[in-house]
Copies of this chain bind each other. A is one copy, B any other.
Amino acid sequence: MKVISFVGYHNSGKTTLIEYLIENLGKTYKIAYLKHDPKGHAVFDKENSDSARILSLNHQSAILSKDTFVLYQKPKTVDEAIAFFKDYDLIILEGFKYMAFPKIKIGNIDEPLENIIYDYDGDKEALKRFVEGYINGI
């Protein structure tokens, strides 16, 4: 299991690049995606909907929907959340800017960040080759 974190400001193009990597490497490798949302911006189901009320009780709950199985659990630590995907080839992280994970930097960032292993220069193909090498420990 390899872990890599995408860092970059809002609208720097992180999501588009992650989509590109999942689309192009996801058939060959088992790729998981984990987003950190420490301020709780994400909205789960419609606010005040029946399911949102039950989910807020914070027990183990799930929705088996047409296209997705969604499971809601109590918050985990970052390590526990990552360990959940231990059988995957690669976990792509987003939103863990100040943690020590190896990072791919997207766009300009006006602050020093630890452990940047790739500075994206706009060449998607080259990034894909880098990530594939990273998965394979090259």
Contacts and interface: CB of A to CB of B under 8 A. Distances in A.
Interface of A: 14-15, 18-19, 22-23, 26, 30-46, 49-51, 53-76, 78, 81, 84-85, 88
Given A76-B69, A81-B64, A33 B54 contact: yes
A68 B44 contact: yes
Given A39-B66, A43-B45, A70-B44, A60 B33 contact: yes
A63 B39 CA distance: 12
Contact of A33 (B30, B32, B46, B59): B59
A54 B68 CA distance: 13
A60 B88 contact: yes
Given A33-B54, A54-B15, A54-B19, A68 B64 contact: no
A38 B53 CA distance: 20
Nearest to A49: B42
A54 B32 CA distance: 10
A66 B38 contact: yes
A14 to B, nearest CB: 7
